[in-house]
Amino acid sequence: MAETNIIETFDYVVAGAGSAGCVLANRLSADPGNRVLLLEGGGKDDWIWFHIPVGYLFAIGNPRADWMFRTAEEAGLNGRSLAYPRGKTLGGSSAINAMIYMRGQAADYDHWRKLGLKGWGWDDVLPVFKRVEDHAEGGSEFHGTGGEWRVEHPRVKWDILDRIRDAAEAAGVPKIPDFNTGDNTGSSYFQVNQKGGRRWSAARGFLKPVLTRPNLKVETGVSVDRVEVTEGRVTAVVYRKDGATHRAGVRGEAVLSAGAVGSPLILERSGIGHGERLAAHGIDVVKHLPGVGENLQDHLQIRPIYKVNGIKTLNTEYWNLVSRAMMGVNYALFRKGPLTMAPSQVGAFVKSSPQYETANLEFHFQPLSLDDWGHGLHRFGAFTASVCNLRPTSRGSIHLTGSLPEDKPDIRPNYLSTEADRQVAVDSLKWARRIVFQKPMEPYRPEEYKPGAHVASEDEMLVAAGDLGTTIFHPVGTAKMGTDDDAAAVLDDRLRVRGIDGLRVIDASVMPAITSGNTNSPTIMIADKGAEMMLGDARGR
Ligand SMILES: Cc1cc2nc3c(=O)[nH]c(=O)nc-3n(C[C@H](O)[C@H](O)[C@H](O)COP(=O)(O)OP(=O)(O)OC[C@H]3O[C@@H](n4cnc5c(N)ncnc54)[C@H](O)[C@@H]3O)c2cc1C
């Protein structure tokens, strides 16, 4: 393959223009004196389904928008391999995700601080969440305005979801107005990253407004291969475009923002990872860091489905030609209705058992049902009570299968591989039934379609959890921050790769422990904080 010498050198090279990469490109190029290169594997986000909210239905599983990864066959899922979607365009996964705005719990970040990571407690990160935010309701103790990250209330309501909230209340789950105050216990409508009925991806929020900056260069359709390290310092980023290999010189720092799947792979191709693993692929070891690609954490959603009667669901509306036509009209004229829908509009956070200090289950209630994403909606009226364990103890891994960027990764989440996680899975199915069979739902005669009333014993429920479980798309932790005495730490608490100068990882991979909620806005917070660290360190040099 043709190889070029370095023809351009940048102060900062960012690999991956996803949720984190778009924030970094914005912040690092704010000073016109910094030359910044942003490299993205996907194309431009010039496809209508990246912008109409329900576009995730067409983007997930479509190679135009999705890297099309798959997991290995998982023992905890009764031998099934899962599709493992990751966004592949400007905006990354924020261009195909479900748009739920969720920070997690104060206790998540206080836990990070207790692990010895300075500057990552709730008091430290709340101001960062607020300063990037533009909340539709205006500023308050917990929300910010004027930032790039737009947060709105959903533009669609469903009676079925209101009745589910009533049922949850009858089961002891309080109705709360806002999940984003540090304690998300209760039920509420999810807030969403949308503006006026359109998706608000990281690209729209952070990248588009600064594309005219002459000191920011964005390259799409490139495959970042590796970083080059000379005498312990990163000197170039090597990438492929149109069949040729290019090298971008790095004067200041390179940042890997290729996500929890992409970033550990770039590290390993660069010779940074477990020495024996790299040697097995013929990769010269630059730095033995055994934690690279380890510590994978993800939320496994278990998806019980309930048939209902006498109340609207998206299934019944979709299969009625008149109401389906009205959905299009409603969107075209008013930017309202089901086309603005995140798949889940109502959430509930509960404890699976009293031993947990804070809520450890998140329900995503959806007024629809399908066999799997990418399959059509069922023709009968039904809703889904997706539920996930927020703080799984199972740990997985993501590693190379070969030394080339086109080699598919080996993704092993190891779902349900601990006794604690298996118990939470069983308890979460019991919780779903506890909510659904309360009095407020009786008029709609709910009937459990999956896993089905015949599943009664804990052993049967565990098998059902393995059959119904799938990713809720939140992989994190594969290049975790940690203290000096943690042999598995890949980064220090300023997100610098241990033992290599001029290299950071800034994306969802850095989380030492997964947050208790959806992971996009925590990643955006991490990126804004990471950029502040980079610029601060540059001023100090
Ligand atoms: C279907 C789906 C639904 C989700 N729903 C929600 C939700 O509702 N709310 C929420 O909070 N979170 C949600 N998430 C999770 C959230 O979107 C992610 O946690 C977040 O986007 C991660 O950001 P990131 O910057 O780490 O990675 P990404 O946003 O995935 O960015 C990585 C970028 O790097 C690029 N890249 C990777 N490898 C290379 C390479 N070698 N060369 C060049 N470029 C490369 C990718 O194309 C991508 O643009 C969802 C995710 C998915 C996939």
Distance 68 CA to ligand 1 centre (A): 13
Q: Residue 16 phi/psi, 5° resolution?
A: 110, 120
> What ranges in 241-400 are assigned the alpha helix state H?
259-269, 275-280, 314-318, 321-334
Would the ipTM clear 0.95, i.e. be above it? yes
* Percentage above 90 pLDDT, the chain: 89
In the set 111, 274, 378, 474, the catalytic residue is 474
- Whole-angstrom distance, CA of residue 156 vs CA of residue 341: 7
Sorting pLDDT into bands at 50, 70 and 90, what band is 269? very high
Please report the beta strands in 395-434, taking only residues with DSSP state E, as ranges in sequence order. 397-399, 410-412
347 forms beta bridges with 188, 364
What's the mean pLDDT when you consider all of the chain?
A: 95
Structure tokens at 327: 């959905």
| Choice from 94, 151, 476 to test ligand 1 binding pocket (greatest atom count within 8 A of CB) | 94
Could you report the per-residue pLDDT of 311-327, keeping only the tens digit for each?
Answer: 999 998 887 777 777 77
> 537 vs 20, 207, 252, 494, 497, CA distance in Å?
19, 23, 10, 10, 14
- Find out whether 342 and 154 touch, Cβ atoms under 8 Å: yes
**Known catalytic membership, residue 288:** no
- Whole-angstrom distance, CA of residue 440 vs CA of residue 311: 13
Smallest CA separation from ligand 1 atom 52, residue:
97
Q: Buried b vs exposed e over 235-272: b needs ≥16 C-beta within 10 Å?
A: bbbbbbeeeeebbbbbebbbbbbbbbbbbbbbbbbbbb
Burial level of 79, CB count in 10 A (0-12/13-18/19+)? exposed
Distance 18 CA to ligand 1 centre (A): 6
β-pairing, 244-256 with 503-505?
parallel
Sign (positive or negative) of CA dihedral 230, 489, 505, 86: positive
pLDDT over 60 (residue 137): yes
Structure tokens at 467: 């059959």
Q: Which atom of ligand 1 is nearest to the CA of 239?
A: 42
Q: What is the pLDDT of residue 341?
A: 72
| Choice from 39, 44, 93 to test ligand 1 binding pocket (greatest atom count within 8 A of CB) | 93
Please report the beta strands in 367-461, taking only residues with DSSP state E, as ranges in sequence order. 382-389, 397-399, 410-412, 447-450
Q: Which atom of ligand 1 is nearest to the CA of 522?
A: 11
* Percentage above 70 pLDDT, the chain: 97
Q: Which atom of ligand 1 is nearest to the CA of 88?
A: 47
Structure tokens at 2: 């043709």
| Choice from 265, 472, 520, 524 to test ligand 1 binding pocket (greatest atom count within 8 A of CB) | 520
Q: Which atom of ligand 1 is nearest to the CA of 405?
A: 41
Of 494, 495, 490, nearest to 479 (Cα)?
490
Structure tokens at 353: 């058992």
Distance 87 CA to ligand 1 centre (A): 5
Structure tokens at 388: 């996930």
* Residues tagged in the binding site annotation for FAD: 224
Tell me which residues have their CB closer than 6 angstroms to ligand 1.
15-21, 39-42, 56, 60, 85-88, 92-94, 96-100, 102, 222-224, 257-260, 262, 266, 405, 473-474, 507-508, 518-521, 523
Could you report the per-residue pLDDT of 159-176, keeping only the tens digit for each?
Answer: 999 999 999 999 999 999
Could you report the per-residue pLDDT of 271-282, keeping only the tens digit for each?
Answer: 999 999 999 999
Sorting pLDDT into bands at 50, 70 and 90, what band is 2? low
Could you report the per-residue pLDDT of 414-441, keeping only the tens digit for each?
Answer: 999 999 999 999 999 999 999 999 999 9
DSSP state of 207: I
> What ranges in 270-417 are assigned the alpha helix state H?
275-280, 314-318, 321-334
DSSP state of 204: I
| Mean pLDDT, rounded, for 502-530 | 98
| Mean pLDDT, rounded, for 3-19 | 90
